[in-house]
Structure 1
Amino acid sequence: MALNHVVAAAINLAAALLSIPVIAAGIWLSTQTDNACVNLLQWPLIGLGIAILAVGLAGFVGALWRLPRLLLAYLVAMLILALSLASLVVFVFLVTTGSSGRPVPSRAFLEYDLDDYSGWLRQRLDSASRWDGIKTCLASTPICPSLNQTYATAEGFFAARWLSPVESGCCKPPTRCGYTFVNPTFWISPIDGAVDPDCAAWSNDQAQLCYSCSSCKAGVLQNLRREWRRADLILLVAALGLLAVYAVGCYTFRQAKTDNLFRRYRQGYT
């Protein structure tokens, strides 16, 4: 019996340790500029990770000090958390389906279209007041100003294969607008009036640029998609590990109860 309780305690401690990659994924997302500005996934992840840690430690205490009620509460709570994590993995995968960018003539970088992304993600940015906060946050970062230090010529900028989605969508006008390059964040408007809303939204004001453009929203969503997919791989491994540990924990708990009943049965006949 003592060995069973030690094994159960070790299993519950392993469940608590599986919270670390969940919390780490949330913290990593919070360090990414676009995620910090949009502020959607990182705090739910950190909160879920802390809950898994707390429940796992409660199960560890319950197993080590032989508290059946606490262990039963642990099993119920951990099942809910494990299923919540697994559901979140599936949800993130589904809402991040969409574009990986579109090539444009004479450019090495890609450009992005807002309609290519899931409706749920687009709705998170549709509110004017919410987007105002996001674009103000983006404008306060060095994302766009740093391009002027990196690319001095049109040839170098147009050959920038690794331009990020936010840089492509927010820091310059869309290629279809026909603007003439001066530097990465300053462009000369064509003679013809801009019909495309994104072309009309472009401004050489360094605080505005294309932050009001749909292409900027698409660039933000593409960055979120890329970073959420990376985090989702970590969450998938954590979810599978948590479900496996939970299954072993249930078996150990059941075996301990069976051994306890058998011991009482034997004591009744001795």
Structure 2
Amino acid sequence: MRVSNNLVGLLNFITFLLSIPIVWAGVWLSKQGSTECEKFLDKPVIILGVFLMLVSLAGLIGACCRVSWLLWVYLLVMFLLIVVLFAVTIFAFAVTNKGAGKVLSNRGYKEYKLGDYSQWLQKRVNSTKNWNKIKSCLIDSKVCSNFRDKYANDTIQTFYSENLSALQAGCCKPSDGCGFSYVTPISWTNNATTVSSNPDCSAWQNDEKVLCFNCQSCKAGLLDNVKSNWKKTAIVNIVFLIFLIVVYSVGCCAFRNNSRDNGYWKQ
């Protein structure tokens, strides 16, 4: 057995073993998922697990059993995966190059405005269908319930100095510009005598399942969170992309070995 064939076989055997718990997790979510967010993830997880399982089997059998056509399919899929991952990485950097929270005077947190982020991201969260699902996930994840419990004993001065996350600042409290009076972290009194031009002020409710989940600031806070996570993911993608290119190169050597051993190459 050639070194490249052994290496491709080993890598794909490890990938095959990793795909088993991924498939199991997807099946578990479909059976045991209690929230819409958990059930939403079951199909993508199962598809990812099955995809990894089939590709790794093709690479494993193709490399170790010298089945050239299976190894060719494996290399084709790997090439397409490299192209797609490269495109996704570039796209992630492109749509996250805009937007940032605005620093407020005498505040430990920032203010987030939807218009500061890329048009593509804005369209995703402005879709009523998409936002209803996202809002349901935010409520199920208890972002604001944990926020309420953590800062329950804060005075107004202490609360204003807290370093809140983008989601907490955008979804769990009204905009500072609304001029509401602080009662608790999720309970505020509207003392304004005039109607504010900020639509978030009228969208705010003290109901724990409403709060500012319908506000533009909440959508902006989510996008700021997405932006941060996508940038981290893009960096991981670059590392993974380099790994895939190395594996693809080794796979090409294994395919050449198969072709020679099966008499497809003439010396």
TM-score class, shorter-chain normalisation, is 0.7 to 0.9
Contact 2:4-2:253 within 8 A present in 1 as well: no
Contact 2:67-2:258 within 8 A present in 1 as well: no
Most deviating of 174-183 and 224-233: 224-233
Match of 1:129? 129
- Pairs within 5 Å for 1:33-52: 36=37, 47-48=47-48, 50-52=50-52
- Pairs within 5 Å for 1:1-270: 3-4=1-2, 7-14=4-11, 17=14, 36=37, 47-48=47-48, 50-151=50-151, 152-161=154-163, 163-189=164-190, 190-258=192-260
Contact 2:172-2:211 within 8 A present in 1 as well: yes
Q: Unaligned regions of 5+ residues in structure 1, if any?
A: 31-35, 266-270
How far apart are 1:187 and its partner, in Å? 1.1
Amino acid in the other structure paired with 1:183: T
How far apart are 1:67 and its partner, in Å? 0.9
Report SS of the residue matched to 1:105. Answer: coil
Distance 1:254 1:104, change over 3 A: same
Distance 1:247 1:208, change over 3 A: same
Contact 1:18-1:241 within 8 A present in 2 as well: no
- Rounded Cα–Cα distance in structure 2 between residues aligned with 1:263 and 1:79: 23
TM-score, normalising length: structure 1? 0.79
**Percent of residue pairs bearing the same amino acid type:** 35
- Rounded Cα–Cα distance in structure 2 between residues aligned with 1:221 and 1:79: 31
How far apart are 1:113 and its partner, in Å? 1.1
- Rounded Cα–Cα distance in structure 1 between residues aligned with 2:9 and 2:189: 63
Contact 2:9-2:64 within 8 A present in 1 as well: no
Q: Deviations over 1:181-215 (max 9, x none)?
A: 11111111122222211111111222211111100
How far apart are 1:230 and its partner, in Å? 2.1
- Rounded Cα–Cα distance in structure 2 between residues aligned with 1:16 and 1:91: 31
- Rounded Cα–Cα distance in structure 2 between residues aligned with 1:46 and 1:224: 23
Contact 2:109-2:169 within 8 A present in 1 as well: yes
Contact 2:68-2:255 within 8 A present in 1 as well: no
Contact 1:13-1:57 within 8 A present in 2 as well: no
Distance 1:235 1:13, change over 3 A: farther
Match of 2:33? none
Measured on the aligned residues, the alpha-carbon RMSD in Å equals 3.1
Contact 2:173-2:185 within 8 A present in 1 as well: yes
TM-score, normalising length: structure 2? 0.80
Distance 1:261 1:126, change over 3 A: same
Q: Unaligned regions of 5+ residues in structure 2, if any?
A: 30-36
Contact 1:210-1:216 within 8 A present in 2 as well: yes
- Rounded Cα–Cα distance in structure 1 between residues aligned with 2:150 and 2:213: 20
How far apart are 1:262 and its partner, in Å? 9.7
Amino acid in the other structure paired with 2:227: R
Amino acid in the other structure paired with 2:216: S
How far apart are 1:15 and its partner, in Å? 5.5
How far apart are 1:258 and its partner, in Å? 4.6
Contact 1:52-1:81 within 8 A present in 2 as well: no
- Rounded Cα–Cα distance in structure 1 between residues aligned with 2:43 and 2:96: 18
How far apart are 1:171 and its partner, in Å? 0.5
- Rounded Cα–Cα distance in structure 2 between residues aligned with 1:139 and 1:74: 42
Report SS of the residue matched to 1:144. Answer: helix
Contact 2:66-2:258 within 8 A present in 1 as well: no
